[in-house]
Structure 1
């Protein structure tokens, strides 16, 4: 968010007070905007299907599924060569939500599954964890706590040799942890965070497992007690470094692992006040570098399906980290000035198809230019400002965020103001001053103020474009902040005119 510090101009004390009020209001808006970036709870459940299966239809019918489960449970209580087949049938039967309740109510049913999970028969172990996985996907809140007897073994198996088995364990743990505090307390006590860190380290080359670790961790990081109980443990582990190492999309496997890990990083960043540890391990540099790569790809027309699912969390990581990164470190922490070009390319790519994503991108550009002369200068030297000016007619918050970016540039240097005027910003502001959106008009007046006081030639050009009549219309037809700003600009113009007249008469 751009800020107006107290600057001494000809108008003296009245102008200083006005700028101080603007500065305070911008700080309040900055806090509100940053808070708005925090996601709501996005926990979900996933069912990992085998290659020969299709997504099942869910039914609440209580008779056949429940009866099948009871029959299969009784058959499994007796040893025999058909046990594996009975377990496979049970895993399919447990897709019925009513059958899930029926099963957990059977005496010793979970102990039976745990026994099969820890037995010597590898195929029975696989089918047993499949049954637990089906149970973890249940919509009934009482099912997750019923799975607790199996959790120590699920965690132990994360270090096993079978990747498919490990995936099933991870998705099962990820499914049961969000909705029950009791389950989370047990999992934390049993060491789920160190287990996830070890699993990701050991399986860093197996992207399917890495994706599953990311899913399970994201489920934990979104729970209501994450800030107090989970995030400190994650930060104390090597998980942040492992998450960052995954932010390199694999051309064969796709974007999924990077997407999961990027969301994990976002949940970490937006939940802590002090991000120095994450900055120290290169979080801002890694996320910025990947955004530069993605921006370069879309600029060349290579916009893969699903790319926006990775762009979203990366934008939020970078935007929130920028807010806490010291201004003097921005250059080294973000790589180079080509980040602004990448952000502008992403805005253009998603402007019409996903305007919310374009707005998020403009928000990051706003944070990037708020305290950096270098990045403001880059927008001018890379000829990116005309593209920003073209965004001003767009609604849905895109024009307001773009106005803040332009205000950041104008505030930095008088030379920047002159350059903005030469690029056609004055005529664009004359258009935005006529809009019905009060926030757009107010921001336009703020930017106009900085341009007008930067030099007489800019002020004269604004007058030639019939800008005074626009200000007079706002002064007499509006209320509150817009009227005050319009009146103040007109007074500035009158004062300047009087001073010129006095100098001529002298």
Structure 2
């Protein structure tokens, strides 16, 4: 059987070969996990001003303001009197163009003017100053974000503001600033960004727009390489709140659920305390929501962005299934509903062309679900899922290798399972994958074939009738030593012996 973190595979081979197989599979899965960690999703968000978004788009000049024009706008802001808010709006629209960011931040006292207005008692100027800082936090230029550091104490303070709009701005701005470098991160941690976020999420559970913004910012923090030691212990109390937001809101949409799901994924990836996550019901919630989403996708749901929620939920579920805690509890806690199999198959087929990586992620979860679980392997056969999986074998990019691992998990359960796999058409499919150019596909095909041929003489008969012997003999000339040895093993122990017995009879 194949699983992300713990790998075992009972085949008819020596103990030494089995241990080598386990070791190689662990190393392979370790590399996959590291690749997932390396491809982090840290990004920046730009929150548009809903009040005058169309006006902004109409008035944005293709040419940025000159240094003199920016300087003039700043002077107007400083001495604007009652028009100060309007001048700030002009500055914000100018900062919408990234080419003006360096010009503005290099002007003397420019940032202190914004900070002064942010900390003032004029609510409208405060909001416009926050919008200007938000534009700067979204800058692609290195160093611009660091120039916003004088404003961070106020941004953190306003996370308890009565104005939801100001809170959103502050949250997205802080989330944008976090990736700016070690100096910014250390400053934000010292200023108490983690407890401020915890309080914000706990106190704003009913305002999904704020929860979405807080979820985005928290997900930025949780992707830090030191998150397991410096952040996770401080935010574990939030897990029930994050779980409660996973169900999409019919009026608000998917945004808050998506951000909270990513937060939970990063928590699962970093924490060793998976038992507490199971006790909070995370496995059950992820499973139930995926079943619901699978039914919606199967019915042809066209809701935009549905895959954005499916993705982090799959990662949460897959990583939790890979933890020994699930087995230690005596069963796969929270995933007793076999409808999850159908949902995973729907995702793997529906998103195969539009979001291939999501299809692969679905198969990865299905792999972890069937590894070591005779109940789910039986359900996979009972609900006739195998033919659908066989249709995916011609596809590359990791799709066919995962399918082969899932089939291996089923075959691992014994001869009865192997016979049913054969009846479902697995042998002709293996004859095709054994001819493929990809080395890992051929190796996995041989592993599955080894299990099948060891299970029953009837399986051997069918494979021989499919011209399987010449196919394996050709692999004996392969450059891969392991594949040559495996092909020889199957030929010598099952096929040639079976042919000799049949001939004698």
CA displacement, residues 386-412 of structure 1 (integer Å, 9 cap, x when unaligned): 211222222222111100000000002
Number of the residue aligned with 1:134: 135
Number of the residue aligned with 1:311: 310
Matched, 1:202 2:203: yes
1:123 Cα deviation after fit:
1.3
Number of the residue aligned with 1:247: 246
Number of the residue aligned with 2:473: 472
Judging changes above 3 Å, is the alpha-carbon distance between structure 1 residues 102 and 392 closer, same or farther for their aligned structure 2 residues?
closer
2:30 alignment partner, SS class: helix
Superposed, which structure 2 residues align to 1:117-128 within 5 Å? 117-128=118-129
Superposed, which structure 2 residues align to 1:85-104 within 5 Å? 85-104=86-105
Conserved? CA contact 1:94–1:134, under 8 Å: yes
Q: Distance in 2 between matches of 1:465 and 1:79?
A: 86
2:96 alignment partner, SS class: coil
CA displacement, residues 208-264 of structure 1 (integer Å, 9 cap, x when unaligned): 1111111111222223443443333333xx222222221111222221221122222
Number of the residue aligned with 1:25: 24
Q: Distance in 1 between matches of 2:503 and 2:469?
A: 21
Number of the residue aligned with 2:33: 34
Q: Distance in 2 between matches of 1:160 and 1:355?
A: 42
Number of the residue aligned with 1:75: 76
Judging changes above 3 Å, is the alpha-carbon distance between structure 1 residues 392 and 502 closer, same or farther for their aligned structure 2 residues?
closer
Superposed, which structure 2 residues align to 1:306-455 within 5 Å? 306-324=305-323, 325-329=325-329, 330-455=331-456
Conserved? CA contact 2:221–2:231, under 8 Å: yes
Q: Distance in 1 between matches of 2:440 and 2:95?
A: 54
Which runs of no fewer than 5 residues in structure 2 stay unpaired?
Answer: none
Q: Distance in 2 between matches of 1:170 and 1:140?
A: 20
Number of the residue aligned with 2:464: 463
1:178 alignment partner, SS class: helix
What is the TM-score normalised by the length of structure 1? 0.90
CA displacement, residues 453-506 of structure 1 (integer Å, 9 cap, x when unaligned): 1112211222222221211122235541211111000111257438957997xx
Judging changes above 3 Å, is the alpha-carbon distance between structure 1 residues 391 and 97 closer, same or farther for their aligned structure 2 residues?
closer
1:321 Cα deviation after fit:
1.7
2:412 alignment partner, SS class: helix
1:343 Cα deviation after fit:
0.3
Judging changes above 3 Å, is the alpha-carbon distance between structure 1 residues 349 and 145 closer, same or farther for their aligned structure 2 residues?
same
Q: Distance in 1 between matches of 2:62 and 2:305?
A: 33
Q: Distance in 1 between matches of 2:353 and 2:140?
A: 37
Q: Which moved more, 1:28-37 or 1:367-376?
A: 28-37
1:273 Cα deviation after fit:
4.4
Q: Distance in 2 between matches of 1:161 and 1:488?
A: 72
Q: Distance in 2 between matches of 1:400 and 1:133?
A: 45
Q: Distance in 2 between matches of 1:484 and 1:155?
A: 63
1:251 alignment partner, SS class: coil
Q: Which moved more, 1:379-388 or 1:461-470?
A: 461-470
What is the TM-score normalised by the length of structure 2? 0.90
Judging changes above 3 Å, is the alpha-carbon distance between structure 1 residues 58 and 16 closer, same or farther for their aligned structure 2 residues?
farther
Conserved? CA contact 2:104–2:110, under 8 Å: yes
1:416 Cα deviation after fit:
0.8
The Cα RMSD (Å) is 2.6
Q: Distance in 2 between matches of 1:96 and 1:298?
A: 39
Q: Distance in 1 between matches of 2:439 and 2:61?
A: 51
1:315 Cα deviation after fit:
1.6
Q: Distance in 1 between matches of 2:254 and 2:336?
A: 22
Judging changes above 3 Å, is the alpha-carbon distance between structure 1 residues 310 and 503 closer, same or farther for their aligned structure 2 residues?
same
Judging changes above 3 Å, is the alpha-carbon distance between structure 1 residues 477 and 142 closer, same or farther for their aligned structure 2 residues?
closer
Conserved? CA contact 1:87–1:127, under 8 Å: yes
Q: Distance in 1 between matches of 2:480 and 2:86?
A: 76
1:353 Cα deviation after fit:
2.4
Q: Which moved more, 1:146-155 or 1:94-103?
A: 94-103
Q: Distance in 1 between matches of 2:42 and 2:394?
A: 36
Conserved? CA contact 2:389–2:403, under 8 Å: yes
1:47 alignment partner, SS class: coil
1:223 alignment partner, SS class: coil
Number of the residue aligned with 2:186: 185
Q: Distance in 1 between matches of 2:289 and 2:23?
A: 34
CA displacement, residues 112-156 of structure 1 (integer Å, 9 cap, x when unaligned): 323322322221211121222222222233222222222222112
Q: Distance in 1 between matches of 2:35 and 2:83?
A: 56
Conserved? CA contact 1:217–1:264, under 8 Å: yes
Judging changes above 3 Å, is the alpha-carbon distance between structure 1 residues 99 and 271 closer, same or farther for their aligned structure 2 residues?
same
Q: Distance in 1 between matches of 2:183 and 2:30?
A: 34
Q: Which moved more, 1:27-36 or 1:421-430?
A: 27-36
